[in-house]
Amino acid sequence: MQNRDISSTFVKGMTVLKAFDDSQAHMTISEVAHKTHIDAATARRLVLTLVHLGYLKKVGRNFSLTPRILVLAGSFLGANQFGRLVQPILNQHSAEIGRGISVAMKDDNKALLVAQSSLTSTRMTFGFTVGSHLPLLHTAMGRMLLALEGMDEVERIISEISLEAHTSLTTLDRGKLLESIQLAAKLGYCVVHGEFEHGVTGIAVPSDASGEFPSVVAVSDVTESYEAEADLKTVVVKMKRCAAELAQSNAL
Amino acid sequence: MQNRDISSTFVKGMTVLKAFDDSQAHMTISEVAHKTHIDAATARRLVLTLVHLGYLKKVGRNFSLTPRILVLAGSFLGANQFGRLVQPILNQHSAEIGRGISVAMKDDNKALLVAQSSLTSTRMTFGFTVGSHLPLLHTAMGRMLLALEGMDEVERIISEISLEAHTSLTTLDRGKLLESIQLAAKLGYCVVHGEFEHGVTGIAVPSDASGEFPSVVAVSDVTESYEAEADLKTVVVKMKRCAAELAQSNAL
DNA sequence: GCAGTTTTTGCGTTATACGAGATTAAACGC
DNA sequence: GCGTTTAATCTCGTATAACGCAAAAACTGC
């Protein structure tokens, strides 16, 4: 028995729903039960409830998410004016910078992509969408997000998080990570070379928006495109312009 | 008491979560209770549970969605390869067509935006995002979606749905709507002029993808831009090319 | 066809959701 | 400012719905 203010059934239900992540999109009832550590009979009831509500659909003996789950996301995006305010600004600055722009927020100990504008002239994307989780410590957007938090929170996360080497360049030294985040806080921008995806450099700046959730504006490109130090500086300046406009628009 | 396979608590919990739509993003517990027709005490527990799970946050006496809700959407998008397959194709064709492209699926009696590529060179967007609900009967994408369904389903929806006049051009005659959908099914594309937003013309074609959910590719622009009949035909041809590529990629 | 697994059902137990009422906080008038 | 009204929030005993075991049924793969 736990807190009387928390509905354990609802918690289990959301656990089941969350279990359908991109690592396992199609699951049988027993797989759900295994993954969530919920009794098979209970898991079955919760899964059937989700089917009843239209969030899951059954095909054969497997269950998978339906597009309806996007409606919940749409509520958040709509409420925060992403369509009307954020997206047009991102589009314009994306064209000016010549690269796709992403906006991210901190979610637990992950960076969460909340908006994106990819260049229409290129097929290049990094395969992430709104709702994608990225590492906090080994991406520019993640470190910049941490730099916006209090340093006590940063130290807590750095010490708690398990470090995973995504590439040969991934920084696994917790002290160096802290330094990098402190530098980002001081400079007002963050650059990370190939620590998450090989050969890709990320740049992030705070969005400056005074909204409900701290957010950052981020750009990714192959490392060579920033060969000249001046190129990088130019991009940062343009990104800051984008951030300023987002802040001014009262979005986010 | 109802079906023993449906967890009524979980249903109520999801109802509460869904209640935070863009029409009411910030709600007190009693507002939630009122909107969902759930007892205030129960609503309170469910809301507190959502706060506990990090999907809602409390500010003052109001509750609102956190970005975490996007993670669930990300699972669906990731599982269906939206980032890696769909988005690049949309981006490329968006540039070729010279207009933003959307992909939509049918959700109950609404059209649901599941992917989008807006032109980066322009600030023009129609304010919708992934997860936005649009009318089925008064948009090109909606009618095209219906045209993919069986005609019995179409007739059911046309007769059940309540018709709302969004503009002075909105077709409110159920017979005419059926005709329009049948025409779309026959032609393989659908064009709707200013029935949802004044002065805006929408075009939709089936995505041809053999995936789990029927989907359409849609384009919107101010009506004048299609003045010449030839312009419209050209766009349709280009859209069909996009649809074919989506199908070929095994996305959707 | 058999041995395994998975899914479903029944049921006693117990936690848990319910909702009326108590408590607290906000809104208003004087 | 203070009492009064109104609404929102929280508490708690009780009814009930969810839990999870165990056993049956259904499906798989060999």
Q: Tell me the CA–C1' distance in angstroms for B30 and D1.
A: 30
Q: With beta carbons under 8 A apart, name residues in chain B contacting A249.
A: none
Q: How far is B88 from chain A (nearest CA, A)?
A: 5
The shortest CB-CB distance from A107 to any of B44, B68, B76 is to B68
For the ranges A206-215, A241-250, B213-222, which has the lowest average pLDDT?
A: A206-215
Mark which residues 107-136 of B lie under 8 Å from A by CB: 107-108, 112-114, 117-133
Cβ contact B83–A125 (<8 Å):
yes
The mean pLDDT value of chain A amounts to 92
Q: Tell me the CA–C1' distance in angstroms for A62 and D28.
A: 14
pLDDT value of position B123: 66
Mark which residues 148-187 of A lie under 8 Å from B by CB: none
Cβ contact A6–B212 (<8 Å):
no
Cβ contact A71–B133 (<8 Å):
yes
Per residue, what are the HEC states of chain B? CCCCCCCHHHHHHHHHHHHCCCCCCCECHHHHHHHHCCCHHHHHHHHHHHHHHCCEEEECCEEEECCCHHHHHHHHHHHCCHHHHHHHHHHHHHHHHCCCEEEEEEECCEEEEEEEECCCCCCCCCCCCCCCEEECCCCHHHHHHHHHCCHHHHHHHHHHCCCCCCCCCCCCCHHHHHHHHHHHHHHCCEEEECCCCCCEEEEEEECCCCCCCCEEEEEEEEHHHHCCHHHHHHHHHHHHHHHHHHHHCCCC
Among B71, B216, B246, the residue to mutate for chain A (most A Cβ within 10 A)? B71
Q: Give the residue ranges with Cβ < 7 A from strand D.
A: A 4-5, 8-9, 12, 38-42, 45-46, 60-61; B 1, 4, 7-10, 28-31, 40-41, 44, 61
Q: Give the residue ranges with Cβ < 7 A from strand C.
A: A 1-2, 4, 7-10, 28-31, 40-41, 44, 61; B 5, 8-9, 12, 38-42, 45, 61
Q: With beta carbons under 8 A apart, name residues in chain B contacting A113.
A: 70, 74
Strand C: which positions are within 7 A of a protein CB? 5-10, 15-21, 26
Mark which residues 205-234 of B lie under 8 Å from A by CB: 212-213
pTM of the model: 0.92
Among B75, B121, B125, B215, the residue to mutate for chain A (most A Cβ within 10 A)? B75
Structure-token pair, residue B17: 């979560």
* Residue B41 near chain A (CB below 8 Å): no
Domains of chain A: 8-66 (1.10.10.10), 71-248 (3.30.450.40)
- How sure is the predictor about A227, in pLDDT bands with cuts at 50, 70 and 90? confident
> Tens-digit pLDDT profile for chain B (252 aa)?
567 789 989 999 999 999 998 888 888 888 888 888 888 888 899 999 999 999 999 888 889 999 999 999 999 999 999 999 999 999 999 999 999 999 999 999 999 999 999 887 776 678 899 999 999 999 999 999 999 998 999 999 999 999 999 999 999 999 999 999 999 999 999 999 999 999 999 999 999 777 789 999 999 999 888 877 788 899 999 999 999 999 998 877
Section A28-47 average pLDDT: 92
